[in-house]
Chains A and B, each alone.
Chain A
Amino acid sequence: MSGPSTYEPSNGLTKWLDQRLPIVRFNHDLMTFPTPKNLNYWWTFGGILAVCLVVQIVTGIVLAMHYVASTQDAFASVERIMRDIDYGWLIRNIHANGASMFFLAVYIHMFRGLYYGSYKSPREVIWILGVVIYLLMMATAFMGYVLPWGQMSFHGSAVITNLIGAIPVIGEPIKTYLMGGPAIGDPTLNRFFSLHYLLPFVIAGIVVLHIWALHVPGNNNPTGVSVKDVKKDTLPFHPYYTVKDGFAIIVFFLLFAYFVFYAPNALGHADNSVEANPLQTPAHIVPEWYLLPFYAILRAITFDIGPIEAKLLGVIAMFGSIGILFVVPWLDTSKVRSMRYRPIAKQLFVLFVVAGIGLGFCGANDPDKFVFKFGPDKLVVNYVDTSGVAQVSGRFDNFEGAGGAQEFIAKLPPSSGASVAVSEEGFKWLWLSQILGAYYFLYFLVFLPLLGIIEKPKARPPSIADSVRKKHASVPAAAVNPAPVAAE
């Protein structure tokens, strides 16, 4: 798509260098890369993500200079970074909140790709590399969360490694190799630190491939219509999109700075300010917010299917919900890329986003607690009947008075061991996570394949240039289109 290079070395040195290492030419070609002129702000998240990766690597390298990867010293060394090291608090807050910002941006970036069909031919490889990056990000974030050695670090990682142990045959050996011992301990902490330092550079490598793959077909755009005339449909990347991306990055930094300076612990968990204690489990174990939807899918499976136990099914569903992303380019059968022109798909997509966010809330809440209650709490009586079987009574409004629990207990024999309990009835978070989890899979496995066949798409604009011109039809023509002149 980029066509022949337009770079011409301007002096003797650049000519000499161009024949030996054409790095200036490489940069020139990136900057002049023809980019669809109609990209909206959803397209700025690629640039934002690149900045996020750099921020995490720079702050991470600094933190590694002060952090001690040992179960005895890890927690104290993190506290020392926060209290004693000059600007340690700033750098650690940037790193910890940077992870959240990174995931926020990557989710928007992925939703953008799903909405505008950026995963479709000829961009499947870009999408797959993106999913690989996302997986590596999750692995990196998970291991990074263990390093401060707080209560949630320790018990969260114990839950996740136990999940791997649920996989038949290979699960237990993998778990042992992951932990380096019978439980999470020093060997685990050390290898997680090593890998947490390594993986961001692996991510950076895959990002290079991701961008390389992007520069073969070029960017998708909000209409999904391919570039037909490079002169009419595109603008050079610089200055048009360097400036647009730059502006978006600055706005993104405002949000980032708000969290770093005004709410540095808002996205974390209070239990992680308590040093890890293997003998005491926090009452409610939750992962970081960006992993909550998958945690909800994991816990949504509470039933066995045939010989497969619920625990293993949950693990399969959780990994499946991420693995399914790899085959999205082939699950979506529609020839139309952008959902702008797909009336049904568009609505189902909005529901998909709602389901994703809803699953996040499910993951944060106790599955047995209630989204809402059906009515006021009532009383029940637990007792043992004359044949020695445990029974639960009906529900009572009151303890005392006529028709109350007390009256019921009075009628029971003294050997029944009656005790009163509060009975709550309502819509459980578990049920919501089962409904939303089912929608997540339906969207990919049923709706996307089916819609390509039954949906009648709306008319697409004949070209990118036409779509831009039509949108601004009321504006005088001269003001609309100075861009192609600049492109030449």
Chain B
Amino acid sequence: MSEHGSKATTANAGHGADAPAGETRRDFIHIAAASVAAGGVAAVAWPFIQQLGPAADTRAASSAEVDVSKVPEGSEIRVLIGGMPFFVRHRNAVEMAKAVADDKLPMRDPATDESRLVKMQDGTYNKAILVTSGLCTHLGCVPVGPAQGSTGEFGGWYCPCHGSHYDTSGRIRKGPAPKNLAVPKYEYLSTSMIKISL
């Protein structure tokens, strides 16, 4: 071991005579070897990190088609897509009128009722159908609605965790939640079928 070590020292000194002081060919070899090793580690690490992401079947299941004509008026259905809850609400005439009437009131997250709807294929709105995310924007609880017997002070949804009240357009009106119930990406495939995507 010691014999080998002394040989290396001699060889190094020989190179040192040719190279500028402080830098040797051996330094270059060290840096090059370490770079190759780091590149190799990074290349191997990538698949091991990427496998943690959503798998192809999970991604493929990231949308669902819903027949909105099956939702009873004045009530809603709850859809789970990839484990995320969504509300599809069939509003009655009073609820629709109230949502539009409140458009001008001061709100925490101002939005008109129309801006929270998506046009059908013919370019008109189906104002009776409101589609929102089912997660309270405060801490991600699932608010209760007409089917659970509580719609909060503004007739929309009520989050029992920390008392957020949403109106019939899913807008935050009272309580700690900072934002309106999110409107997901969705489109009308026909007058009664919608496709919700994550």
A residues near B, CB below 8 A?
155, 158-159, 162, 176-178, 180-185, 187, 191, 278-281, 283-285, 309, 311, 368, 388
Contact indicator B53/A180 (Cβ below 8 Å): yes
Q: Is B198 an interface residue (CB 8 A)?
A: yes
Question: When the two chains form their complex, are residues A187 and B55 in contact, meaning their CB atoms are under 8 A apart?
Answer: yes
* Cβ contact within 8 Å between A285 and B84: no
Other A-B contacts than A181-B58, A182-B54, A187-B55, 18 sampled, CB-CB below 8 A, are A159-B139, A176-B54, A178-B52, A181-B54, A181-B83, A182-B81, A182-B82, A184-B83, A185-B58, A187-B58, A279-B80, A279-B85, A279-B142, A280-B142, A281-B142, A281-B161, A283-B160, A285-B139
Task: Give the residues in chain B near A278, CB-CB below 8 Å.
Answer: 80, 83, 85, 142
A-B contact pairs, 27 of them (CB 8 A): A155-B141, A176-B54, A177-B53, A178-B52, A180-B52, A180-B53, A180-B58, A181-B54, A181-B55, A181-B82, A182-B58, A182-B84, A182-B198, A183-B82, A183-B83, A185-B82, A185-B83, A187-B58, A278-B80, A278-B83, A279-B142, A281-B141, A283-B160, A285-B139, A285-B161, A309-B178, A368-B162
Closest-CB distance, B140 to chain A (whole angstroms): 5
**CB neighbours of A309 from chain B (8 A):** 178
Query: Would you give the shortest CB distance from A309 to chain B, in whole angstroms?
Result: 8
Residues of B within 8 Å of A155, CB to CB, are 141
From DSSP, what is the main secondary structure of chain B's interface residues? loop
Q: How many residues of B contact A (CB 8 A)?
A: 26
Least CB distance, B74 to chain A, in whole angstroms: 20
Contact with A along B34-72 (1 / 0, CB 8 A): 000000000000000100111100100010000000000
Q: How far is the CA of A455 from the CA of B146 in the complex (A)?
A: 63
Q: Which residues of B contact A (CB under 8 A)?
A: 49, 52-55, 58, 62, 78, 80-85, 105, 134, 139-142, 160-163, 178, 198
Residues of A near B58 (CB, < 8 A) are 180-182, 185, 187
**Closest Cβ of chain B: how far from A78's Cβ, in Å?**
20
Interface pair B140/A176, CB less than 8 Å apart: no
Q: Is the interface of A mostly helix, strand, loop or mixed?
A: loop
Distance, CA A278 to CA B141, complexed state (A): 9
Chain A residues with Cβ below 8 Å from B160 are: 281, 283
User: Closest residue to B134 on the A side, CB-wise?
Assistant: A279
Q: Which of B53, B78, B134, B162 is the one whose CB lies under 8 Å from A176?
A: B53
CB–CB B83/A177 < 8 A: no
Tell me the bound Cα distance from A184 to B49 in angstroms.
Answer: 18
CB pair A279 B52 closer than 8 Å: no
Q: Which of these, B84, B105, B162, contacts A183 with CB under 8 Å? A: B84
Contacts A181-B83, A182-B62 given; does A158 touch B52 at CB 8 Å: no
**Shortest Cβ distance from residue A182 to the other chain B in the assembled complex, whole angstroms:** 4
**Chain B residues in 8 Å Cβ range of A180:** 52-55, 58
A162: B residues at CB distance < 8 A: 139-140
Considering the complex, give the chain A residue whose CB is closest to the CB of B160: A283
Nearest Cβ on chain A to B132's Cβ, whole angstroms:
14
Residue in A closest to B138 when the chains form the complex, CB atoms: A311
* Residues of chain A contacted by B178 (CB below 8 angstroms): 309, 311
Q: Chain A residues near B62: list those with CB within 8 A.
A: 182
Residue of B nearest to A366 (CB): B162
Measured between beta carbons, the chain A residues less than 8 angstroms from B198 are 182
Given contacts A182-B198, A183-B83, contact A159 B54 (CB under 8 A): no
Cross-chain contact A159 with B52 (CB below 8 angstroms):
no
Instruction: Return B87 CB to nearest CB of chain A, in Å.
Output: 10
For the complex, give the distance between the alpha carbons of A179 and B36 in Å: 32
Cβ–Cβ < 8 Å partners of A311 in chain B: 178
List the A side residues contacting B78 at CB < 8 Å: 279
Looking at the assembled complex, report how far the CB atom of A142 sits from the nearest CB atom of chain B, in whole angstroms. 17
Q: How far is the CB of B163 from chain A (nearest CB, A)?
A: 8
